[in-house]
A and B are shown apart, each in its own frame.
Chain A
Amino acid sequence: MNPISLSTTEIRDLLSQIPDPEIPVISITDLGILREITIQDNICVISITPTYSGCPAMKMIEDEIVKKLRENGIENVKINMIYHPAWTTDWINDEAKEKLRAYGIAPPEKSTVNKSTLMGETKEIACPQCRSKNTEMISQFGSTACKALYRCKDCKEAFDYFKCI
């Protein structure tokens, strides 16, 4: 077994090339799924956290991480699934939010889950296509658990909104 020659920063750069399987315009580092990289006794330990508990993309992300590291000569990899702190949309940076918008997904509004979530009040969500705020929610659950389905009443396009959590 060759010793790991890359630093954790170099490994992070490598892994930030891995796109999210469901939203390929942003990476697993943009989303905040990649939490920590450590090297112990020549084993590369990658800690990741799921966005949603049942996110079906997690297994694929694990496989992609292992594949990417293998390609770069790191054979000994351990994936560590962590649940604390719980993932939040607040970890998605502004640059990534802009990428989401350009891709056609309305990015999460600033604040995380609040009381209004429970009361059923909906926030004003801008259409990613025409930026109009004249939109309405069609369903709280869109193409994946992390998104809600909206419709723009001006340009008539349906679009996904990345829910705050």
Chain B
Amino acid sequence: MTTQEALFNYCLRLADNHLILGHRLSELSSKGPLLEEDIACTNISLDLIGQANALLQYASSVENKGRNEDDLAFLRHERHFYNSLLSEQPNHDFAFTMVKQFLIDAFNFYLFDELKKSKDLTISALATKGHKEITYHLRHSSTWIDRLGLGTDESNKRTQNAINELWRFTDDMFVMDEADKILISEAIAIDLNTIKPKWHNTVNAAFEKANLKIPEKVWMQYGSKQGKHTEHLGFLLAEMQHLHRAYPGVKW
């Protein structure tokens, strides 16, 4: 694997995480539990898709094969998507949506903070910009963890259920492979092991404060970095890519 191939792959991972999570959140548009939340989730979705767009533009220039950001988003198949397993999980109830959001926001918060120092100037610039927005995302989702955990017995139960269901997908975010190795040696990517303890502490502290627990002895699921996904991604892509595939080159 060349540095260029590793960088292309790395940009896709960062972009896909945001794109898929952003698409999931956009499903709440006009269906949020209350008007303010409808607007909040849609705005966060817009941030994420905007960041994904810039990352895919960069991936496209790194690959240099004439595929633009739309081609990369709408014409890749499931097995060529590298978003985390967690990001593709369905929304279910609002507790489920917010737990998923919080676990990923905290991951992105530390990841993008470190990527500001990347030797790759585009990645560093996009991380600096992205981190400002992600800070607000994390604030939003952590407020909800507090509110749901300390709300009623029912809201606490649902939030704990969500944590129990989703925890098995958390380790997958921290998997590294050859692409990471190559880019870490060039100070472009970061070693995810360095942010894992920070992520864990933040998550654990937020849960403890809200009367919630990290489940013990969970069988972890992996595969996203090889393009192996849960069954949910295919359905998501079918919806997300339909228009572009049915009407190639269509413009608003």
Instruction: Indicate whether B121 reaches chain A with its CB closer than 8 angstroms.
Output: yes
Q: Could you tell me the distance in whole angstroms from the C-beta of A15 to the nearest C-beta in chain B?
A: 22
CB <8 Å contact, B51 and A53: yes
- Minimum CB–CB distance for A100 against chain B, Å: 19
Choose from A53, A85, A87 the contact partner of B47 (Cβ within 8 Å): A53
Given that A55-B50, A141-B44 are contacting pairs, would A83 and B129 also be in contact in the complex, using a CB cutoff of 8 Å?
A: yes
- Distance of A53 Cα from B133 Cα, bound (Å): 8
Interface residues of A in 81-97 (CB under 8 A from B): 83-88
Question: Does B36 count as interface, using CB distance less than 8 angstroms?
Answer: yes
A120 and B143 contacting across the interface, CB-CB below 8 Å: yes
Interface assignment of B62: CB less than 8 Å from any CB of chain A: no
Q: Report if B29 contacts A (CB, 8 A).
A: no
Distance from A79 Cβ to chain B, minimum over Cβ atoms (Å):
14
Please tell me if A25 contacts chain B, counting CB pairs below 8 Å: no
Q: Do A139 and B36 touch across chains, with their CB atoms under 8 A apart?
A: yes
Closest A residue to B41 by beta carbon equals A141
Residue from B40, B129, B142 in contact with A139 in the complex, judged by beta carbons closer than 8 Å = B40
Specify which of A54, A86, A149 is in contact with B50 (CB 8 Å cutoff): A54
Interface digits, B134-151 against A, CB 8 Å rule (1 contact, 0 not)? 011011101100100000
**Could you tell me the dominant secondary structure of chain B's interface residues?**
helix
From residue 42 to 98 of chain B, which have CB atoms closer than 8 A to chain A?
43-51, 53-54
Is residue A143 contacting chain B, with contact meaning CB distance below 8 A? yes
Q: Indicate whether A140 sits within 8 Å of B139 (C-beta atoms), given known contacts A86-B125, A86-B128, A86-B132.
A: yes
Q: A50 contacts which chain B residues (CB < 8 A)?
A: 50
Contact A52 B50 (CB under 8 A): yes
Closest Cβ of chain B to A154, distance in Å, is: 21
Is the pair B47, A54 in contact by a Cβ cutoff of 8 Å? yes
Asked if A144 lies at the interface with its beta carbon under 8 angstroms from chain B, I say yes
Q: Tell yes or no: A163 within 8 A of B by CB.
A: yes
Contact yes or no, B125 A53, CB < 8 A: no
Which residues of B are found within 8 Å of A45, using beta-carbon distances?
none
Tell me the bound Cα distance from A165 to B135 in angstroms: 9
In the bound assembly, the distance between CA atoms of A15 and B39 in angstroms comes to 31
Chain B residues whose C-beta falls within 8 Å of the C-beta of A163 in the assembled complex: 136
How many cross-chain pairs have Cβ atoms below 8 Å apart between A and B?
A: 87
Pair B43/A83 contact, Cβ less than 8 Å: no
The 8 Å CB contact of B136, one of A83, A85, A140, A149, is A140
B143 & A83 in contact (Cβ 8 Å cutoff): no
Q: Would you call A18 an interface residue if the criterion is a C-beta within 8 Å of the partner chain's C-beta atoms? A: no
Given contacts A53-B51, A53-B133, A113-B132, contact A118 B139 (CB under 8 A): yes
Tell me if A120 and B39 are in contact (CB < 8 A). no
The answer to whether A142 touches B133 (Cβ under 8 A) is no
Q: Do the beta carbons of B133 and A165 come within 8 Å of each other?
A: yes
B135 touches A118 (CB 8 A): yes
| CB–CB A117/B39 < 8 A | no
Does residue A145 face the partner (Cβ distance < 8 Å to B)? yes
- Chain A residues within an 8 Å CB radius of B139: 117-118, 120, 140
Is there an interface contact between A54 and B121, defined as CB atoms closer than 8 Å? no
Answer whether residue A56 sits at the interface, using C-beta atoms and an 8 A cutoff.
yes
State which of A86, A120, A141, A143 has its C-beta within 8 Å of the C-beta of B129. A86
Contact of B40 with A52 in the complex, beta carbons under 8 Å: no
Within 8 A of A (CB), among B92-147: 121-122, 124-126, 128-130, 132-133, 135-136, 138-140, 142-143, 146
- Determine the distance from Cα of A37 to Cα of B50 in the docked complex, in whole angstroms: 24
- Residues of B contacting A52 in the complex (Cβ-Cβ under 8 angstroms): 46-47, 50, 133
A129 to B109, CA, bound (A): 35
6 A–B contacts from the bound complex (CB under 8 Å): A52-B46, A53-B47, A83-B129, A84-B125, A88-B132, A138-B36
Pairs of residues from A and B, 7 with the lowest C-beta to C-beta distance, nearest first: A54-B50, A53-B50, A54-B46, A84-B125, A139-B36, A141-B40, A86-B129
